[in-house]
């Protein structure tokens, strides 16, 4: 990515994708391939495995539920079906909880590794850019990302809760024959989708902010909201297109791999299709991680904020333990010591002058 800081602000959707592709195809292609193999590939495999296992568990629940409806009440068979149905639901809930925890962990690790690496490429910090160095940085960054994730989760939870309550109230009013309520429900649904895209864009940019600046949690979300202003359309189009491709891969995996047997697709063919879908999803996720960092640099350039390569390099060296920035208190202490040293030297010099003028002293 050879763009100068002042040129980044002019990159549009195509320019951002081109710059992201240049990073992935550049001299550090082996590094990003190792990051993809270590973090993104397990993340993608976990997502696809979650789809397959969830489908199997839901199929078992549906089968037991159907058998329960046909069973005679109060019989031993019904009791066994109830126990099995309760066990199926418990297994599903435990699996979902374990999946969400693993997904969160791998997402944070992938984001930390990708953002740090892209920023290192941009800042020309090539001497510090290696896979072992990236691995040493990731544990120092993921806590900041976790705080930002929790803040974004809280915002999304409140947003969804309020939206669902309003939508349910309008749908109830529409069922009672209110045409205005039906129109408002439709407009609310459209506004909800637009708002969801906006919050998601802010969240993804806040993840980059948490790595490259001294912000985390809600402060990172606020900083991201300020940065995205003026480049919201570009970021939204990028976010939307990536999610469309992601959704296409997911739907294809469900149709051809998970439910392929019902459509006459053989086991070997489904396995090969599963590998292809895994590779496609891994590529999409890796591109998304790199792209969100490029979008951050574009937004910084658009707002004429400092994105000097040396400053980013210094910030990255803090994670590597090679550079410790001075705090305001350190600067004040240094100034105080300089002043004190100057005064002491002045006293000594005055004393020396006195001795020279009066040898009896």
pLDDT per residue rounded down to tens, the chain (361 residues): 666 666 788 889 999 999 999 999 988 899 999 999 999 999 999 999 999 999 999 998 998 888 888 887 878 888 888 888 899 899 999 999 999 999 999 999 999 999 988 888 887 655 557 888 888 888 888 888 999 999 999 999 999 999 999 988 888 887 776 678 788 888 989 999 999 999 999 999 999 999 888 899 999 999 999 999 999 999 999 999 999 999 999 999 999 999 988 888 888 899 999 999 999 999 999 999 999 999 999 999 898 876 655 555 555 555 555 444 434 334 333 443 444 344 444 443 433 434 333 433 3
The whole-number pLDDT of residue 163 equals 92
Name the region of 358 (left: φ>0; alpha: ψ -120 to 50; beta: rest): beta
pLDDT of residue 26: 84
Reduced to 3 states, what is the DSSP secondary structure of residue 11? coil
Contact yes or no for 122/1 (Cβ under 8 A)? yes
Query: Which pLDDT belongs to residue 16?
Result: 93
Cβ–Cβ under 8 Å, residues 218 and 151? yes
Sign, CA dihedral 126-128-132-135, equals negative
For position 76, what pLDDT does the model report? Answer: 82
Which residue in 59, 127, 168, 170 sits closest to 316, CA to CA?
Answer: 127
Distance, CA of 194 to CA of 242 (rounded, Å): 16
Token pair 């990708």 is found at 114
* CA geometry: angle 20, 149, 49, nearest 5 deg: 75
pLDDT at 306: 65
Burial of residue 62 (number of CB atoms within 10 Å: 0-12, 13-18, 19+)? exposed
- In angstroms, the CA 356 to CA 128 distance is 57
- CA-to-CA dists, residue 243 to 44, 283, 299, angstroms: 14, 13, 21
The reported pLDDT for the residue numbered 317 is 58
Rounded distance between C-alpha atoms, residue 137 and residue 317, angstroms: 10
- Note whether 261 and 270 are within 8 A (CB): yes
User: Would you state the pLDDT for residue 4?
Assistant: 65
pTM over 0.75: yes
What is the model's pLDDT at position 229?
92
CA-nearest of 255, 273, 253 to 263 is 255
């Amino acid at each position: 990515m050879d763009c100068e800081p002042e040129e980044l602000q002019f990159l549009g959707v195509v320019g951002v994708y081109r710059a992201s592709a240049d990073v992935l195809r550049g001299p550090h292609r082996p590094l990003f391939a190792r990051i993809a193999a270590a973090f993104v590939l397990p993340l993608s495999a976990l997502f696809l495995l979650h789809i397959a296992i969830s489908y199997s568990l839901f199929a078992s629940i549906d089968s037991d539920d159907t058998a329960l409806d046909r069973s005679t009440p109060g019989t031993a068979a019904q009791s066994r079906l109830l126990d099995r149905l309760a066990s199926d639901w418990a297994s599903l809930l435990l699996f979902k909880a374990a999946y969400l925890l693993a997904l969160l962990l791998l997402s944070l690790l992938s984001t930390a590794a990708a953002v740090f690496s892209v920023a290192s490429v941009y800042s020309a910090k090539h001497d510090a850019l290696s896979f072992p160095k990236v691995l040493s940085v990731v544990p120092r960054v993921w806590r900041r990302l976790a705080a930002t994730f929790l803040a974004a989760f809280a915002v999304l939870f409140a947003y969804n809760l309020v939206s669902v309550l309003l939508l349910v109230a309008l749908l109830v009013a529409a069922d009672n024959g209110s045409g205005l309520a039906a129109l408002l429900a439709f407009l609310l649904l459209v506004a909800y989708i637009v708002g969801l895209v906006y919050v998601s864009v802010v969240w993804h940019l806040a993840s980059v902010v948490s790595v490259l600046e001294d912000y985390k949690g809600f402060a990172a979300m606020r900083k991201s909201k300020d940065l995205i202003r003026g480049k919201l359309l570009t970021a939204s189009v990028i976010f939307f297109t990536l999610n469309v491709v992601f959704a296409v891969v997911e739907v294809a995996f469900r149709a051809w791999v998970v439910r392929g047997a019902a459509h006459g697709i053989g086991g070997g063919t489904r396995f090969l299709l599963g590998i292809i879908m895994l590779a496609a999803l891994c590529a999409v996720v890796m591109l998304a991680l790199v792209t969100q960092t490029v979008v951050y640099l574009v937004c910084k350039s658009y707002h004429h904020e400092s994105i000097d390569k040396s400053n980013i390099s210094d910030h990255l060296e803090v994670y590597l333990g090679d550079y410790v920035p001075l705090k305001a208190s350190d600067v004040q202490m240094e100034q105080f010591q300089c002043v004190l040293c100057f005064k002491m030297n002045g006293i000594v010099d005055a004393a020396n002058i006195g001795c020279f003028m009066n040898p009896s002293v």
